[in-house]
Chain A
Amino acid sequence: MNGINIKNNKKNANKSDILRNIRIKKVKEKIIKNLLFGFGMVSVLITVAIFITLFSESVLFFQHIPILDFLTGTKWTPLFKPQHFGVLPLISGTFLIVIFSSIISIPIGLLSAIYLSEYAHKKVRKIVKPVIEVLAGIPSIVYGYFALNTITPFIRKIFPEASIYNALSASIAVGVMTIPMVLSLSEDSMKAVPNSLREGAYALGLTKLEVVYGVVIPAAFSGIVASFILAISRAIGETMIVALAAGSTPKLTLNPLESIQTMTGFIVQISQGDVVQGSIEAQSLFAVAMLLFVITLSMNLLSRYIVNRFKEDY
């Protein structure tokens, strides 16, 4: 009898030990889960806070300037009398930068991605890719300085009528800066296309070029588009290069040789200047920032739509 009791006690002790262990584990799991949730929420809260600031300050601005005048006006002179708050010149400035930088970054980035992913020898790829990615690590102020001191004089040799500050010079620098984004992302998505698909196409007697544009690029399409959109968003948001090299004269023009101002360039100008807090000029900064936010957001939504619409799953 006694012996059996001792045995049972031992068994119970073991059992409660195991139970306690499980309980401790569960508490730990809960703590970790809540901790992770907390960190996740921080970034959400920051985004919300930024949006609220932008929104509330913009509302104050739009109490003075009708939103329609802001969006359709062709004169932007917040710092002179008479003040005009038509944002189109800033949009056209940003637009110029986006167009001309994309003309550089998208073809060069995509074509070199195709080369590296499909044609280059392994050894070449191992050296070239990191070297190009270094371009992404150069601070944009360096690019801005480079644009002003190297690209601009060169442009003015070819086009003597170009201003010292001009959109083209800044665009070239922004374009070069965004090449690695297009390249890296497109190359990754092409490399991710399973080799079995390439083999399937080769086995049908397709040439290398046919395999690349018929199978690899369509299969990697969503990643490629994402890389374009990322480069464009970066060009829209790029600030240092355009503030340095593109000038600060808001102008409704499509001539890249002229001095312009972008939305971001204007924000820099206002932030640095001696503009009175709470004045309408200061509030205009938030309206422009709000517009920038909306444009970038729509770019993201657009890219998501395109990616879902055209993606080929594998």
Chain B
Amino acid sequence: MKVKMQIRDLNFYYGDFKALMDINMDIERKKVTALIGPSGCGKSTFIRTLNRMNDLIENTKVEGEILLDGEDIYSKKIEVEELRKKVGMVFQKPNPFPKSIYENIVYGPKRHGIRNKKQLDEIVEKSLRGAALWDEVKDRLNKSAWELSGGQQQRLCIARAIAMEPEVILMDEPTSALDPIATSKIENLIETLKKDYTIVIVTHSMQQAARISDNTAFFLMGELVEFGPTSTIFTTPKDQRTEDYITGRFG
């Protein structure tokens, strides 16, 4: 099956405020899907519905369906902890735990029952290699993760997500707090990651979306204005609003 996640008639409310309106979208397997749009357009809210992070916010409501491999993630049969194991997330600001580099990686696997030291060591190496961080930190795995630079911390957070062996990785503006060099490292990493994972990334940089994504979704005021292959969106957008946004007329 080519489609990993299907979003059907999704509405989302913060109290009385309707933040997402009738979103329909197919997220392709092992592709990078970029979500763009001006601040407050609902792209972050949308990405957080995909692993039900919005459940943590009081007084919110979801309508519609989000299917992961054909199964509705909001159905009662789904345990939200299992869902988040399959759908990992990397946040805007690097948020490693105030523990060692090693502990940061094994934290999730340990909670899900892996106790074998050798197995954990393997997970650490594999995840750090996967996040292109291994060579930089292999000699100081027991040092605090907070001693790393911002870019390294963000790659550590990616490694922490990979360690759970998820199927989908959500990234909510993962480079907005980083300098250009660290940003390009993360972008290269995303290129490699899409071989194994389905990636959804929120970005406020259109250049970034154009560089790294296969599909792009343009959000405006809670609506999905246009969704399609990145090359189409950026060269021949169908909607006037998309064209205005990508040519820099607003946003």
Contacts and interface: CB of A to CB of B under 8 A. Distances in A.
A37 interface: no
Interface string B71-115: 000000000011111001101010111110000000110011000
B51 A203 contact: yes
Given A200-B91, A204-B111, A312 B84 contact: no
Nearest to A204: B108
B85 A205 contact: yes
Interface of A is mostly: helix
A204 B99 CA distance: 16
A202 interface: yes
B111 A122 contact: no
B147 to A, nearest CB: 10
B90 to A, nearest CB: 8
Contacts, number: 71
A203 B56 contact: no
Contact of B97 (A122, A197, A202, A205): A197
Contacts of A207: 81
B58 interface: yes
A219 B98 contact: yes
A199 B95 contact: yes
B172 to A, nearest CB: 10
A49 interface: no
Nearest to A194: B95
Given A202-B53, A202-B56, A203-B84, A214 B111 contact: yes
Contacts of B51: 203
B152 to A, nearest CB: 16
A206 B53 contact: no
A218 B81 CA distance: 21
Size bin of chain A's contact surface: 20 to 34
A196 interface: yes
Given A122-B58, A199-B56, A313-B146, A204 B107 contact: yes
Interface in B44-86: 51, 53, 56, 58, 81-85
A17 interface: no
A192 B82 CA distance: 28
A151 interface: no
B82 A313 contact: no
B112 A203 contact: no
B157 interface: yes
A210 interface: yes
A59 interface: no
Interface in A180-228: 194, 196-207, 210, 214-215, 218-219
Most chain A Cβ neighbours within 10 Å, of B82, B88, B89, B98: B98
A314 interface: yes
Contacts of A204: 84-85, 88, 107-108, 111, 160-161, 164
Contacts of A314: 98, 146
Contacts of A201: 97, 107
Contact of A199 (B91, B96, B108): B91
A157 interface: no
A205 B58 contact: no
A215 B97 CA distance: 7
Contact of B95 (A121, A197, A214, A218): A197
B93 to A, nearest CB: 6
B56 A206 contact: no
A204 B105 CA distance: 10
Given A196-B93, A203-B53, 6 more contacts: A121-B58, A199-B95, A202-B84, A205-B164, A218-B98, A312-B98
The 9 lowest CB-CB distance pairs between A and B, nearest first, are A312-B98, A204-B108, A203-B89, A205-B84, A205-B85, A196-B95, A200-B95, A205-B81, A314-B98
5 contacts: A199-B91, A201-B107, A202-B53, A202-B84, A313-B146
